Chain A
Amino acid sequence: MRGAAALALGLLAACAADRPRAPDAAPPLVLRTVPAGDSLRLVLDAAPGWRINARVKPVLESADGTLLRFDATGLTPDSAYFAEPPVAVVSARARNPIRGTLRASVCAAGEAVCRVVRLEVGGKR
């Protein structure tokens, strides 16, 4: 695919619980990458029915302590959640792989609670 990235996502979910996993207990976030010139946009999508807390912005914490923050200009009217997927931008020429812990606060529609999701992201170019 020219000028764009082909994204393949495989998902394997295993339950480490003391009771069966609820049918709706799918990972609430998906991280995708979109090339944009000399940059690479990391886009954080919330699964249907989930919202990402904008009061505490998602962060990718690298092992060396570098913080890569996700943000977006579009917010819900109450300014509490992102109305569009938050994005972080890295240089496409960067040598270091995208690796670290992605942390986001998310809320599921109809539950009225917040929870933190952590994604261990490890990649190589």
Chain B
Amino acid sequence: MPKTALLAVLSLALAGSAAGALETAARAAAQARVPLLESPRSGPRPAPSWRNTSWLNADGPITLESLRGRVVLLNFWVFTCYNCTNTVPSLVDFDSKYRDQGLTVIGIHTPEFPPYAGEHDKANVVRALEKYHIAYPVAQDNDDRTWNLYGIRYWPSFVLIDRKGRIRYEGAGEFHVGDADYRLWEGRIRELLAER
């Protein structure tokens, strides 16, 4: 997906009140419409190695190298994102159905806001894992490093990596157990699991 951004400058003037005049200049960063479930970008390419140090549902940091030979589904999410938490049941389902067949689901928890919003707090993430019954590993990505490494722009986003460590599919957007997008992702997972 090409990197797209919109810079907008707002100028705002307020006059005629007891408060006097207010002039405001604003710059907005937004993005064009999201091409959901667009993938692959330009054929398989090596997945970059993440280096997150804070993990949940794991004995210690999990590396991409340690997962060679497995299919890996990365989910970039944050617990304050409704679209993200709506998609979690599908990921829990994938984890339940395909972990033993070679799938590793990994949540990359990337905050939207600065630390004051609470998204960086490990205890809050732990509560979210309990609330949504997430048993697969989740890495805290509080510095956005893995988010940037993979060029992610939206919550939730997904990256599907094959057994050889290559990115095969990418996409973004909420989906639900049994819907068309769920079936699409499940088909992709099964396709990569069938490869040897």
Q: Which residues of B contact A107 (CB under 8 A)?
A: 82-83
Which size class do B's interface residues fall under?
A: 35 or more
Q: Would you call B4 and A17 a contact (CB within 8 A)? A: yes
Report B134-182 residues with CB < 8 Å from chain A CB. 153-157, 172-175
B19 CB–A CB distance under 8 Å: yes
- Contacts A21-B32, A27-B28, A33-B14 given; does A115 touch B6 at CB 8 Å: no
Residues of A within 8 A of B2 (CB): 17-19
Known pairs A25-B30, A56-B117; A12 contacts B11 (CB<8 A): yes
Is there contact, CB below 8 Å, between B82 and A80?
A: yes
* Number of interchain pairs (Cβ within 8 Å): 195
Chain B residue numbers with a CB within 8 Å of A120 are: 25-27
Q: Residue B123 at the A interface, CB < 8 A?
A: no
**Chain A nearest CB, measured from B39 CB (Å):** 15
Contact B30 A98 (CB under 8 A): no
A19-B154 in contact given A113-B173, A114-B81 (Cβ < 8 Å): no
Query: Does residue B52 face the partner (Cβ distance < 8 Å to A)?
Result: no
Complex Cα spacing A115 to B113, Å = 11
Q: List 13 A-B contacts (CB under 8 A).
A: A4-B16, A8-B13, A9-B12, A10-B10, A14-B8, A14-B9, A16-B5, A40-B19, A55-B81, A103-B113, A108-B34, A117-B29, A122-B25
Which residues on A are within 8 Å of B, measured CB to CB? Answer: 1-19, 21-22, 24-33, 35, 40, 53, 55-56, 59, 61, 67, 78, 80-81, 92, 97-98, 102-103, 105, 107-108, 111-125
**Which B residues are closer than 8 A to A by beta carbons?**
2-34, 36, 78, 80-84, 112-114, 116-117, 119, 153-157, 172-175
